[in-house]
Structure formats: structure tokens, C-alpha cells
């Protein structure tokens, strides 16, 4: 059963009650993904552990009513001392901010201290897509890498979905026969031209299903030895359970080793490749933003730096004065 981790950190009953109400708010009103709920709960729990040492007693709800930057800087310094980098430190603040703002909405806290706290500066990073030929090799040669033909077909279908639709790994593994327009599990024919995907923050988007994606899924389902109800995820593990992301990541490590690809060749890199190759072939940023499910165009704009060479070539070919 899906659930957020139990709270094992000492805290006053009033704070434990507020925490439970906050988690319920994240699930029912904010409709956050389970992984995000768990991450936020972990953020708060780690901060409460720090406060036990700092305050000398289990933290109370009143201790969150007016947090000062001093409290947060001490916490981040402690996290930095055990080897956490800027990205992790910024991530550590997310759950704390969410909880304090939840209390603030109820008139029980102020987020002024959090607002005054500047998040650690993030290192500039760019997406690391694969070359078109390498993305194709990962899909085509995947079918030759596993002793079990149906598992090889499954891995190839997953890679095809990630690259062909630009999905996050959890989104791809969550696809059902019903979503794909498969009406009869005994005759797996993908009829959907688009799929509705629920992404981060409950954001829903429509993504086209290319014929090659449908064909790859059908090939896998024809070989799969398990009966899969059309309303359940189609990608199955060796024992019939729903495939976990770690299985796909492990398969990718094997493939990149066999093909001599860099460590940046991950399942998520297939999504980066989808966006970069679309941009390089004339796709516009707004459309790519919608396909990826990015809330902000600035997130999508990172791909322009990755594909600057292709953009310059398009510009020179299209501009009247070039």
C-alpha cells in the first residue's frame, strides 16, 4: 500500500498533529506525487532532528512559527559538513518551506525567515542528450542483449517510449493498456494516437504516440508471458510485478557498457534526447515545453544551449539576409 514514511523523529504532539494534517494536504489538495510527498516528509524529519539537538527538546509547532535564517543556516552548514552539495542543500529546504507555508496559511507561522534565506547557488548544468545514432542503437540493440526475448522486447519498448514520447521514467512505467487504447488484452493493438500523462505536480499533458512506439509496445506485449489487465501498467518484471525504475536503470548500465556509451547515458537522457532532437529539427520551444510538461519555459530553454549549433544552421538557412 502506498504511504509516506512513518515519523520516527521526536516531536511534540502539537507538531506531530500539524505534520499529519500537512501530509494529508499534500496528498488530497495539492495532489502531489507519492515520491514528492516522501521527499518533503524526509526534509521536515531531518530538520526536526537538527532542532532536537539545537533546542535541547523535541520541537513544537511554536518553534516553526517564526523561523530565523540563523536556524536554517545552521542546519544547512551541518548538512554541508557531511558532504551534501548545493543541489542537495536546496532540495533539503523544499519540504521545510512547504510545511511553514502550510502553517502560515492557517495563521500559525510566518515564512518571512524562509523568504530572507537565500538558497545555495546551483552549479550551472545542461541536459546531456545522446546523439541520434546512439539513441537508435540503444533501442535496436537492446533486443539482442537479453537471454529472455520478452524481457529484451520489454526493455526496447521502454526505451522507445522514453525517447519517442519524451516521458520521465515513472511516467513511462505507469502506462496502461487502457491509456494506450488497447481494448482487448489478448490482442494487444495500440490504437491511441495520443496519451494523457500525469506529470510532476499533478500537471496533465497530451503526448503523441508515434507508430513506431505503438509497434514496439505491441511486440513486447505479444511476447510477455503474463496476463495484464488493461487498467494496469503494461511493463512487467521477471516475476510479473510492475517494473521498478531501478530495473530499467540497471538495464541501461549494461547497454551503455556494451555499446561504449558514457555514464550520462541514462533512461532520463532519452527524454533529454527527445527534446534536443526535436529542437534540432525545427521544433519550437513552446511546443516542446508542452510535450515535456515543463511549468516554466526557462526550463525548456536549456535545450537551446545544448543545440546551439543546429539552431545557428537553421537560422542561416532561413533568414532572408543570411
Choose the catalytic residue: 71, 236, 268, 277. 268
What count of other Cβ atoms lies within 10 Å of the Cβ of residue 272? 24
Q: Which of 40, 75, 163, 303 is catalytic?
A: 303
Q: Which of 168, 205, 236, 277 is catalytic?
A: 168
- The cell numbers describing 91, all together, are 532540495
271 carries an active-site annotation: yes
Q: Is 40 a catalytic residue?
A: no
Check if 303 is active-site.
Answer: yes
Tell me whether residue 268 is one of the annotated catalytic residues: yes
Catalytic (active site) residue 286: no
And the C-alpha cell for 201?
Answer: 505536480
Q: Under a CB-based contact definition with an 8 Å cutoff, are residues 15 and 59 in contact?
A: yes
Backbone angles phi, psi at 320, to 5 degrees: -60, -30
DSSP 182-250: ---TTS-----SEEEEE-GGG-EEEEE--HHHHHHHHHHHHH--S---TTSBS-B-TTSSBPPHHHHHH
Q: Helices H, strands E: what count in the chain?
A: 15, 2
147 within 8 A of 274, measured Cβ to Cβ: no
Separation between Cα atoms, residue 159 and residue 110, nearest integer Å: 46
Distance of CA 23 to the CA centre of its chain: 20
CA distance readout (Å), 104 to 12, 98, 293: 19, 10, 29
Q: Which of 25, 91, 200, 302 is catalytic?
A: 200
d(CA 75, CA 52): 11
Active site amino acids: 168, 200, 268, 271, 294, 303
Amino acid at each position: 500500500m502506498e504511504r509516506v514514511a512513518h515519523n520516527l523523529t521526536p516531536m511534540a504532539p502539537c507538531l506531530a498533529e500539524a505534520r499529519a494534517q500537512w501530509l494529508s494536504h499534500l496528498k488530497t489538495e495539492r495532489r502531489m506525487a507519492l515520491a514528492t510527498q516522501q521527499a518533503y516528509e524526509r526534509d521536515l524529519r531531518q530538520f526536526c532532528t537538527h532542532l532536537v539537538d539545537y533546542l535541547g527538546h523535541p520541537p513544537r509547532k511554536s518553534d516553526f512559527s517564526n523561523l530565523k535564517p540563523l536556524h536554517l543556516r545552521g542546519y544547512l552548514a551541518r548538512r554541508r559538513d557531511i558532504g551534501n552539495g548545493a543541489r542537495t542543500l536546496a532540495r533539503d529546504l523544499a519540504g521545510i518551506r512547504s510545511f511553514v507555508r502550510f502553517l502560515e496559511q492557517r495563521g500559525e507561522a510566518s515564512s518571512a525567515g524562509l523568504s530572507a534565506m537565500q538558497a545555495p547557488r546551483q552549479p550551472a548544468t545542461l541536459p546531456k542528450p545522446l546523439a541520434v545514432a546512439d539513441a537508435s542503437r540503444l533501442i535496436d540493440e537492446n533486443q539482442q542483449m537479453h537471454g529472455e526475448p520478452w524481457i529484451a522486447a520489454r526493455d526496447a519498448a521502454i526505451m522507445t517510449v522514453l525517447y519517442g514520447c519524451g516521458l520521465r521514467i515513472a511516467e513511462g512505467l505507469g502506462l496502461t493498456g487502457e491509456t494506450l487504447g488497447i481494448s482487448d488484452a489478448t490482442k494487444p493493438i495500440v490504437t491511441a494516437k495520443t496519451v494523457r500523462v500525469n506529470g510532476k505536480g499533478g500537471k496533465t499533458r497530451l503526448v503523441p504516440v508515434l507508430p513506431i512506439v505503438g509497434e514496439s509496445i505491441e511486440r513486447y506485449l505479444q511476447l510477455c508471458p503474463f496476463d495484464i489487465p488493461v487498467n494496469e501498467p503494461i511493463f512487467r518484471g521477471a516475476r510479473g510485478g510492475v517494473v521498478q525504475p531501478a530495473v530499467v536503470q540497471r538495464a541501461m548500465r549494461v547497454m551503455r557498457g556494451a555499446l561504449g556509451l558514457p555514464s550520462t547515458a541514462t533512461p532520463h537522457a532519452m527524454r533529454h534526447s527527445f527534446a534536443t532532437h526535436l529542437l534540432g529539427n525545427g521544433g519550437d520551444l513552446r511546443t516542446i515545453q508542452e510535450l515535456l510538461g515543463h511549468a516554466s519555459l526557462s526550463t525548456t530553454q536549456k535545450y537551446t544551449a545544448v543545440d546551439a549549433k543546429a539552431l545557428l544552421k537553421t537560422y542561416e538557412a532561413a533568414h532572408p539576409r543570411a
